[in-house]
Structure 1
Amino acid sequence: MTHKTASSTMLNILFWFAECHYLMVALPKGNDTHFDYPNLFTSDLVDPHTKPPNIITNHMRFNKKELEKLMPPDTVYITIMREPSAMFESLFDYFYPFCQSMNRVPNRSISEFLDNSLKYYRLHEGDSMFAQKCLTFDLGGDKDSFHMDYGARLAAQVEETFSLVMISDCFDESLILLRHLLNWDWTILSKSNMRLEKARKKMSPELSAKIRAKRSVPKDVDIVGYELATDLSAERQALCTKFVMPEPPYMDAIRKA
């Protein structure tokens, strides 16, 4: 699961599904709640009492080769993303006390960090991923790559690996697609504890634009993975837009799909 993308909600849903169907969930050894994050996942991090698993969902840094050693060949991979500026604002707010690159910034100012990130950011610190392309890092990528096409290449790998990439900003619609993918009963989805939209902090359009501008060269998977591909046909782009930003006339169609 990725950070600050409604992943805890998804974890609860998957745990509930496993409990209802007597499935084994892979858990970290000892008292850990994650799989040795921020290190890459390895199969030996799983508590032997939870092997062989049907589901693995706790926070990890994605490593497909190691997961393939653990999971069945027909495993379905699912991840979740969030609108990039909202995700970074949430990361900054939550991890400011713990992330050194953020904690150096006076007055908890996200604008100051964006304007002078080189002054505060230290790429070799163990918690630096929260200040630099956290989604790229969580998906197993290189958060500090400056190759112009790296984000596009990683996004292509994500598209090839994951059967569904959920969008937390469109959580209800994503759950419907998840339900169809896994052939779930509606009662499982009733366990969602997603925060109401009105409970979220409102970010100014200026700050949102600033975050995107400062973090988009070169574009990383946090940005590339969230945006629609540029080579889609007009018909396909219209269909994707309906699902990502549904208007009321499309909601019934999505739920009946």
Structure 2
Amino acid sequence: MQTFDRFLSFSCFSQAHRQFILLCTGILSSFLLSSLLLKYLTEFCPLPRNVIQYYTPTQKSCRGDRHVVFMKVPKSGSTTLQNIFFRFGLSRDVKFMLPKRDNWLSKSRIIDRDDIFPNHAGQPFDILCNHIRYNRSDMLRFTHNDTSRIAIIREPGSHLRSYLYYYHLAYLNLQQSPETDIVRKFLKHPEKHATKILSNPVSEWLSILPTANDTADSMKGFKDRLFQLDKDFKLILIMERMDESLVLMKRLLCWNLEDIIYIPRNVNHLYPRGHLNAADKIRHERISRFDYVLYAHFSAKLDSIIDHSGEDFQDEVRFFKKILQSVKEFCANWRRKVGTSLRIDPSPWSQGFTVSSMSCLLLTYSELEIQNYVGLWQYGDIWETIHTHS
């Protein structure tokens, strides 16, 4: 009954859907009902789709996914995730798609071959993790058919605050002072500022905003593209639940705990933290309602998958947090520890591994530093000759 109640709780079931399911309970056996619900859920409410593809921690027969597209959504913890994908690829000798200029593969949604370093003999790239907006059909031209798509998103109010404090305030005609919260100042009169770049920025990045063809019902068109995005991606992580998200990603991709250790990158410690108050959240939802729907959808999906991930899932998350603390302490003064290493013992969830001073160097590299390291590793002198910064 608990499982049945969980099925009914999914927000995508309308009242008519619930009545239909309840009607079925009176005329179908429990076996047939379970089969019908599974089919109904996967067709009309695709939230826990990835549960079916889940790998248990002790499953040794699975082969780790080496082909990944990571959508680097700005100001969502994405630089930390990019560092993970770069380090994973370095340890597996994969081929990265890298830009010839700065850290953008493209400022549009189309990848121009003249803007990227070529792969050997025109072969597909294994990992793509630089800035670019999502375009499924265009990315298929450059990646493997079995590529796993991953992204990370952030609570919209927190994302707005990070955006405003990170980018030039003068450009937004906002002035910072001890007496003024620039987020509140922006939300009181968003029309006076650069509202377009701060209106549903994540939905825009993932290419699911309504189009001119959706004028009759823009929310319906948005949700149609949202469900397609759900099908396209193996997992969309939630920044506020980074460690749970990463352990889940590790299980879905059949990786090791070593592959997902991290030290947060590109974090602005100067701006004040905190959530929007009720009034400001209402104001923000008026200009970014699609981002709020997007976040609620994938936050609920994360909950759903974790609920199906076994009794030991939270045990693994706690173990992972302990590893992260040990790595953080070891790497805090890694230059004084050259020649030493941190040994992580085997566990029920992963094989043992070693964190060296070189590991710490890569973990603490900035975005451009690790991209440059990967570029030199993959292309040698050609990287230094061709790659430029604006």
Aligned-pair distance for 1:105? Answer: 2.4
Match of 2:109 in 1: 40
| 1:136 alignment partner, one of 203, 206, 221 | 203
Match of 2:282 in 1: 213
For residues 209-230 of structure 1, give each alpha carbon's deviation from its aligned partner in whole angstroms, at most 9, with x where no partner exists: 344312324764421122148x
Q: What is the DSSP-based 3-state SS (H/G/I as helix, E as strand, rest coil) of the residue aligned with 1:87?
A: helix
Number of residue equivalences = 234
Do residues 115 (structure 1) and 191 (structure 2) align? no
TM-aligned CA distance change 1:15 to 1:250, over 3 Å: closer
Match of 1:79 in 2: 151
TM-aligned CA distance change 1:204 to 1:97, over 3 Å: closer
CA contact (8 A) 1:40 1:62 kept: yes
**CA distance in 1: counterparts of 2:293 and 2:279, whole angstroms:** 17
Q: What is the DSSP-based 3-state SS (H/G/I as helix, E as strand, rest coil) of the residue aligned with 2:125?
A: coil
| 1:56 alignment partner, one of 120, 125, 128 | 128
CA contact (8 A) 2:95 2:119 kept: no
One-letter code of the match for 1:46?
A: I
Q: What is the DSSP-based 3-state SS (H/G/I as helix, E as strand, rest coil) of the residue aligned with 1:92?
A: helix
CA contact (8 A) 2:119 2:125 kept: no
Match of 1:126 in 2: none
One-letter code of the match for 2:191?
A: L
TM-aligned CA distance change 1:254 to 1:91, over 3 Å: same
Flag structure 2 segments of 5+ consecutive residues without an equivalent: 1-71, 319-347, 350-390
Match of 1:252 in 2: 315
Q: What is the DSSP-based 3-state SS (H/G/I as helix, E as strand, rest coil) of the residue aligned with 2:236?
A: strand
Do residues 167 (structure 1) and 167 (structure 2) align? no
Q: What is the DSSP-based 3-state SS (H/G/I as helix, E as strand, rest coil) of the residue aligned with 1:215?
A: helix
Aligned-pair distance for 1:94? Answer: 0.3
How do 1:218-237 and structure 2 match up within 5 A?
220-228=289-297
Aligned-pair distance for 1:139? Answer: 0.7
Do residues 69 (structure 1) and 141 (structure 2) align? yes
Aligned-pair distance for 1:144? Answer: 9.0
Aligned-pair distance for 1:71? Answer: 0.6
**CA distance in 2: counterparts of 1:242 and 1:35, whole angstroms:** 32
**CA distance in 2: counterparts of 1:35 and 1:211, whole angstroms:** 35
CA contact (8 A) 1:133 1:220 kept: yes
The TM-score normalised by the length of structure 2 is: 0.52
| 1:17 alignment partner, one of 88, 99, 120 | 88
One-letter code of the match for 1:34?
A: W
CA contact (8 A) 1:26 1:53 kept: yes
TM-aligned CA distance change 1:27 to 1:143, over 3 Å: farther
Flag structure 1 segments of 5+ consecutive residues without an equivalent: 124-128
**CA distance in 1: counterparts of 2:222 and 2:315, whole angstroms:** 34
RMSD: 3.5
One-letter code of the match for 1:65?
A: S
TM-aligned CA distance change 1:204 to 1:7, over 3 Å: closer
Q: What is the DSSP-based 3-state SS (H/G/I as helix, E as strand, rest coil) of the residue aligned with 1:77?
A: strand
The TM-score normalised by the length of structure 1 is: 0.76
Q: What is the DSSP-based 3-state SS (H/G/I as helix, E as strand, rest coil) of the residue aligned with 1:113?
A: helix
For residues 6-35 of structure 1, give each alpha carbon's deviation from its aligned partner in whole angstroms, at most 9, with x where no partner exists: 10011110010100000001011x232112
**CA distance in 2: counterparts of 1:178 and 1:19, whole angstroms:** 18
**CA distance in 1: counterparts of 2:82 and 2:278, whole angstroms:** 31
Q: What is the DSSP-based 3-state SS (H/G/I as helix, E as strand, rest coil) of the residue aligned with 1:225?
A: helix
TM-aligned CA distance change 1:221 to 1:35, over 3 Å: farther
Indicate the percent of aligned positions where both proteins have the same amino acid: 23
Q: What is the DSSP-based 3-state SS (H/G/I as helix, E as strand, rest coil) of the residue aligned with 2:151?
A: strand
Do residues 188 (structure 1) and 248 (structure 2) align? no
TM-aligned CA distance change 1:143 to 1:110, over 3 Å: farther
One-letter code of the match for 1:69?
A: R
**CA distance in 1: counterparts of 2:240 and 2:149, whole angstroms:** 20
Do residues 92 (structure 1) and 161 (structure 2) align? no
